[in-house]
């Protein structure tokens, strides 16, 4: 007798069933992906080529751009292929791989935004000790720590799905990619109470702590600016240096909360998919443009690159 092991398949929902909209969706996702790649690569090139931008703030920004490239690349290329082939199917191993990359890069985004807030806190509240505290070794340790915490986050997610067992041969995921254990738990044929507890604890640990650090950093920054004896123009100029980062934080956490609530409140799959598009596609695409449009140093460095090129 021959022993066989069946590996289940996962079917994603289609963003639209209308055949006439498929070329539109294909062009839209392809355009956003290209814009995200070009924008983030331009930030990395600008920071690496201009010596004036070799500071901790732009070091973390270039790494955030690299993570955003990886983050959007975990979902959009697969979506583009699925739209073109009209076959939104992924294997079990492929789903776990996509989920792993998604968790790592989403957590890296989260951690880097917290580190960038800490960098602004030190620069504004402790300017005399800035270069001592944020030295190259410290920046490397913060970056490595963000990556290691992302791996810990992934391992804890795997703990939550170790006992997963399937009831059906084919699963339908109410999203256009494997976003995490929550989708798998909806398809399980056993009580997932313990696994859900682990998942919510992980979410609180790696979600609430970073945003709490960001809020605390900006609270101290605002308090320091208001206590300073500078003119109103000087205070505004000091706070404006945080504007780009604060805009990205609001965009990232705003879309993340939208995706979380759309999933937790059991809204329609289409609504969940739209929230996921905002979080996984639109945010990485807009981040480099927010920094380039609101940051004078980036715009000056871009002009230098363009003048040398032309």
- CA gap 42, 277 in Å, rounded: 23
Q: Is the pLDDT of residue 141 over 60?
A: yes
pLDDT-wise least confident of 153-162, 191-200, 241-250:
191-200
Reported pTM = 0.86
pLDDT-wise least confident of 64-68, 82-86, 106-110:
82-86
In a domain? residue 205: yes
Q: Is the pLDDT of residue 237 over 80?
A: no
Closest Cα partner for 99 from 153, 59, 40, 23? 153
What pLDDT score does 3 carry? 44
In a domain? residue 233: yes
In a domain? residue 185: yes
What pLDDT score does 2 carry? 45
Per-residue tokens: 144 = 């490595």
Count of CB atoms within 10 A of residue 177's CB? 24
In a domain? residue 3: no
Mean pLDDT, rounded, for 79-108 = 85
Burial of 220 (0-12, 13-18, 19+ CB in 10 A): middle
- CA gap 161, 104 in Å, rounded: 16
Q: Is the pLDDT of residue 188 over 70?
A: no
Here the CATH number for the domain that contains residue 190 is 1.20.1070.10
Higher pLDDT: 31 or 202? It is: 31
What pLDDT score does 25 carry? 87
In a domain? residue 270: yes
In a domain? residue 1: no
Please state the separation of Cα 122 from the chain's center in Å: 24
In a domain? residue 52: yes
Helices 92-125 and 56-73, interaxial angle, to 10°?
Answer: 160
Please state the separation of Cα 42 from the chain's center in Å: 18
Instruction: Grade residue 307 by pLDDT with cuts at 50, 70 and 90.
Output: confident
**Number of structural domains, the chain?**
1
What pLDDT score does 8 carry? 61
Mean pLDDT, rounded, for 150-164 = 75
| Domain ranges, residue 189 | 9-309
Tens of pLDDT along 18-27? 777 888 888 9
Q: Kindly state the DSSP code that residue 51 receives in the 8-state scheme.
A: G
Mean pLDDT of the chain: 80
Q: How far separated are the first and last CA of the chain, in Å rounded?
A: 72
Q: Is the pLDDT of residue 32 over 90?
A: yes
In a domain? residue 55: yes
What pLDDT score does 6 carry? 46
């Amino acid at each position: 007798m021959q022993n066989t092991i069946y590996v289940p398949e996962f079917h994603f929902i289609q963003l639209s069933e209308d055949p006439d909209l498929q070329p539109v969706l294909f062009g839209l996702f392809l355009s956003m992906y290209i814009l995200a790649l070009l924008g983030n690569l331009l930030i990395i090139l600008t920071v690496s080529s201009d010596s004036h931008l070799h500071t901790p703030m732009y070091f973390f920004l270039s790494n955030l751009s690299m993570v955003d490239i990886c983050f959007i690349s975990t979902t959009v290329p697969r979506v583009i292929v699925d739209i073109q082939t009209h076959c939104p199917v992924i294997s079990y191993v492929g789903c776990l791989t996509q989920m792993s990359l998604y968790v790592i890069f989403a957590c890296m985004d989260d951690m880097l935004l917290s580190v960038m807030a800490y960098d602004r806190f030190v620069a504004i509240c402790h300017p005399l000790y800035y270069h001592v505290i944020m030295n190259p070794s410290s920046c490397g340790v913060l970056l490595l720590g963000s990556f290691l915490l992302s791996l810990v986050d992934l391992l804890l997610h795997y703990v939550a799905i170790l006992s997963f067992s399937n009831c059906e041969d084919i699963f339908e995921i109410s999203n256009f990619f494997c976003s995490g254990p929550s989708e798998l738990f909806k398809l399980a044929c056993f009580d997932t109470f313990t696994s859900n507890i682990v998942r919510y604890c992980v979410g609180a640990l790696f979600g609430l702590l970073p945003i709490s650090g960001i809020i605390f950093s900006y609270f101290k920054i605002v308090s320091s600016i208001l206590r300073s004896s500078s003119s109103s123009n000087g205070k505004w100029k000091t706070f404006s240096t945080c504007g780009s980062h604060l805009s990205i934080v609001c965009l990232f956490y705003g879309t993340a909360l939208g995706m979380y609530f759309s999933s937790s409140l059991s809204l329609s799959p289409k609504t969940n998919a739209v929230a996921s598009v905002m979080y996984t596609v639109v945010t990485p695409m807009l981040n480099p443009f927010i920094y380039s449009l609101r940051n004078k140093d980036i715009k000056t460095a871009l002009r230098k690159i363009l003048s040398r090129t032309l």
